[in-house]
A and B are shown apart, each in its own frame.
Chain A
């Protein structure tokens, strides 16, 4: 089934631990994004990638890193998790190069850092 998958669905993590959130799309979209969504703050962009091999920083990149080794996968890594990173994380992708193309969102990962 075409779309975006994220794993895990949810995770409880001890502070200081390393964690990688996985995102895979099979739509051959060039652009991919990671957002976090917090109550009252809306969706905020963490990192993005316009095409395989390139990445860029979004609005809230500190404490996160990404890689884009191929078109389909865009993992997000928390090197040393902190409680303020408790959030719902959404991965998204967009086809083509035009910013007017819609973004498709994955189902999200609910992360709790204790």
Chain B
């Protein structure tokens, strides 16, 4: 089976940096995805990590440690539009298993 944990909710201030953690226990691992989902909308792809280390893409970075079963999504220079839910998903054999998501609220 697979167990994925991420915080339910986080708050941060515009311009700040926030780190959203995700821990997982899986029977099979083929990489880890992060998706962003604004309220009432579909999830959209942010990042994919399959090897250990940091992947940087603009203001967003994602880190993976396979030995620790741990990932984080780092958001820099927060903007109001970054208020959304962030979903961590582990790729198993042919399927994704999603965590329950972290709701991020960015305030002025």
Contact = CB atoms under 8 A, between A and B. Distances in A.
Interface of A: 31, 33, 35, 40-45, 48, 50, 56, 58-59, 90, 99-100, 102-108
Contacts of B94: 31, 48, 50, 56, 99
Given A58-B95, A102-B33, A90 B43 contact: yes
Nearest to B30: A99
Contacts, number: 55
Nearest to A56: B94
A34 to B, nearest CB: 12
Interface string B46-86: 00101000000000000000000000000000000000000
Main secondary structure, interface of B, reads: loop
Given A43-B87, A107-B41, A107-B42, A100 B50 contact: yes
Interface residues of B, number: 23
23 contacts: A33-B95, A33-B96, A35-B98, A41-B100, A42-B100, A43-B43, A43-B87, A43-B98, A45-B96, A50-B94, A58-B95, A59-B97, A99-B30, A99-B95, A99-B96, A100-B91, A102-B45, A103-B45, A105-B42, A106-B42, A107-B41, A107-B42, A108-B41
Interface of B: 30-31, 33, 41-45, 48, 50, 87, 89, 91-101
